[in-house]
Amino acid sequence: MRFTRLVTRTLRTEPVEAETASHRLMLRAGLISPVAAGLYSYLPLGLRSLRKIENIIREEMDASGAQELRMPALQPQELWDETGRTAALGDVLFKLKDRRERPMVLAPTHEEVVTGIVRQYVESYRDLPLNLYQIQTKFRDEPRSRGGLIRVREFDMKDAYSFDTDEEGFHTSYETMAKAYASIYRRCGISVIMVEADSGAIGGKVSHEFVVPTPVGEDTIVSCPSCGYAANAEKAEFVKPPAPAEEPLPLEEVATPGVKTIAALCEFLGIPERRTLKAVFYSADGDVVFVVIRGDLEVNEIKLKNLLGANELRLATDEEVQAAGIVAGFASPIGLEGVRRIADDSINLGANFVAGANREGYHLRNVNYARDFQVDAVADIALAQEGHGCPRCNGVLEATRGIEVGHIFQLGTVYSERLGAYYLAQDGKQYPIIMGCYGIGLGRLLAAAIEQHHDGKGIVFPPPIAPYSVHLVGLNMNERPVREAADGMYERLWQEGIETLYDDRIESPGVKFNDADLLGLPLRIVVSPRTLRQGAVEYKLRREEATALVPLDEVPERAREAASS
């Protein structure tokens, strides 16, 4: 491709809307073009990278034994009603009606449809195991699109679904997919870590994410350097810090005028946070929920949402709290009526806590569960954080940020039972098919690769997913010898099967070199009057600072080496 024909334009200034390096660089390099919040067009360079990622994924999925198919993005809502996911996904699900007023959805994923296909074509154990996959556009009405391609409302995803007769076979399928994912990321040139994760609206009890560590990531990952335990903070377990065991003391009211936060309360009374009980108020599907947790810990909203079985969970508004009769800043579960009460199990770690007195300006000392209050449920709903104890060994957890670039789920039989996907076993009985689900977002993977591979000058593309292998630059293009030599080199490289972007513009060397660094193709080759006098070209790998002169007849071979490195 000649630069003079390329549908793109590099930007000299920083896009004000860009929050992350990948977003900024993709806009500046002309890989993507914004259409609306969370919606982007892939320009030719960006699409070439996306297609290379797609091809790598397809090759690895095919090698794993999976079969490719394609399912419709537009689906009847009744399928989603049948599995209960219309309510579970809520406003994230794009909904519309056809001309017959039939409710439809734009699918964010395809468990319902693929289970229906398997129900139709699988009869007995002889038809299993099976793994079906597609690469297709998905739609999710995200409330907070951000980071360019990191969180969008329309995106391309590879989603695969395995079907097995028993747990042993399923775990083989699951491990096969995990290995295929590891190979995909390695071939795309990015480093990932595999962590335990929450399954969310997809379902299933066990799932794992593949995460690219980066400070701009949306996910917090906690891990133990001693034993290797790693999990998304939404899912992570941890050993909660102990508190002194004491004999219960009598309740004692203490005046705390204007003291409404845990930090202020601890300063006022001269006590550590672990000696307090913190009250947090949520709205779960419209109902106010009172949550109590030890003051040195934070609520894990995903754990809480799962415990409540809620479709929507958010912090309650001041109006909702007041309507429930709760005295914000001085609240406790003692004597509270008419509100669902949930406690973290940290209320059992310690004694004689300080909690609200449920009246303005007062707290209570020596509060103990279950002598002084009852709750509707006690569970682990605390958020794991750096410095907490590892649940698997005596190590200490560390925290890092990351971008999820893949998620695999052990679905079990939840979809097959609800949608009637059974198989006839050797004993003549019908059993539900055991399912797994495996997703990779292609655009997010591209963004994550750029987050991991860039410098102060621009993108540093891993060769396997670079739009082109070579960035050929002609200097002094108004001079006939240079143009003819550069044109000839361009034709020769393509004849040798080496994908080349040719900067044939009449621009200054500074502009051309800056654009080459910004676009970040693996190899830059420069044809200029100086190099031609030496019968050579200037050869520079993007990831290195050094340049070299390479004889003209050696260029294709050296370029091929750079493209495969």
Q: How confident is the model at residue 143 (pLDDT cuts 50, 70, 90)?
A: confident
- DSSP one-letter code for 6: -
pLDDT at position 17 is 85
**DSSP string for residues in 184-233:** HHHHTT---EEEEE--GGG--SEEEEEEEE-TT-SEEEEE-TTT--EEET
pLDDT at position 82 is 92
HSE at residue 177, side-chain half, CA atoms within 13 A, is 32
CA 185 to chain centre: 14
The answer to whether the beta carbons of residues 151 and 447 sit under 8 Å apart is: no
Across the chain, mean pLDDT equals: 94
What is the residue extent of each domain of the chain?
16-219+399-451, 252-379, 468-564
Query: In sequence order, which ranges of 90-212 are alpha helices (DSSP H)?
Result: 111-121, 167-187
Whole-Å CA distances, 488 to 2, 3, 46, 187: 13, 16, 27, 32
pLDDT at position 56 is 98
Q: Under CATH, which number does the domain 16-219+399-451 receive?
A: 3.30.930.10
Distance CA 393, CA 224 (A): 9
**Close Cβ partners of 151 (under 8 Å, ≥ 6 residues apart):** 38, 142, 144, 145, 218, 444
Find the helix packing angle between 167-187 and 44-63, rounded to 10°: 140
pLDDT at position 464 is 96
Q: How confident is the model at residue 58 (pLDDT cuts 50, 70, 90)?
A: very high
Q: What is the CATH T-level fold of the domain 468-564, as seen in this structure?
A: Rossmann fold (3.40.50)
The answer to whether the beta carbons of residues 544 and 557 sit under 8 Å apart is: no
**DSSP string for residues in 362-391:** EEEEEE-BTTTB--SEEE--BPP-TTSBPS
What is the per-residue pLDDT across 67-103, written as a single tens digit (0 to 9) for each? 999 999 999 999 999 999 998 898 999 999 999 999 9
CA 253 to chain centre: 47
Question: Which of the pair, 318 or 17, is modelled with greater confidence?
Answer: 318
Span 411-431, mean pLDDT? 95
What is the per-residue pLDDT across 34-46, written as a single tens digit (0 to 9) for each? 999 999 999 999 9
Token pair of 88 as six digits: 């579970």
What is the per-residue pLDDT across 435-483, written as a single tens digit (0 to 9) for each? 999 999 999 999 999 999 999 999 999 999 999 999 999 999 999 999 9
Q: How confident is the model at residue 535 (pLDDT cuts 50, 70, 90)?
A: very high
Residue 201 has pLDDT above 80, yes or no: no
pLDDT at position 563 is 79
Distance CA 173, CA 207 (A): 14
Span 494-511, mean pLDDT? 95
Residue 203 has pLDDT above 80, yes or no: no
The answer to whether the beta carbons of residues 520 and 528 sit under 8 Å apart is: no
**Close Cβ partners of 526 (under 8 Å, ≥ 6 residues apart):** 473, 474, 475, 537, 538, 540
pLDDT at position 98 is 95
The answer to whether the beta carbons of residues 540 and 522 sit under 8 Å apart is: no
Q: How confident is the model at residue 243 (pLDDT cuts 50, 70, 90)?
A: confident
Global pTM value: 0.89
Residue 16 has pLDDT above 90, yes or no: no
Strands (E) located in 224-327: 230-232, 252-255, 277-284, 287-294, 313-315
pLDDT at position 22 is 96
Distance CA 177, CA 127 (A): 19
Distance CA 520, CA 540 (A): 11
Distance CA 282, CA 284 (A): 6
Please state, as a whole number, how many other Cβ atoms lie within 10 Å of the Cβ of residue 268: 16
Find the helix packing angle between 442-452 and 21-28, rounded to 10°: 100
- DSSP one-letter code for 71: -
Q: Which CATH code, of 3.40.50.920, 1.10.10.10, 3.90.1310.10, 3.90.960.10, is assigned to 252-379?
A: 3.90.960.10
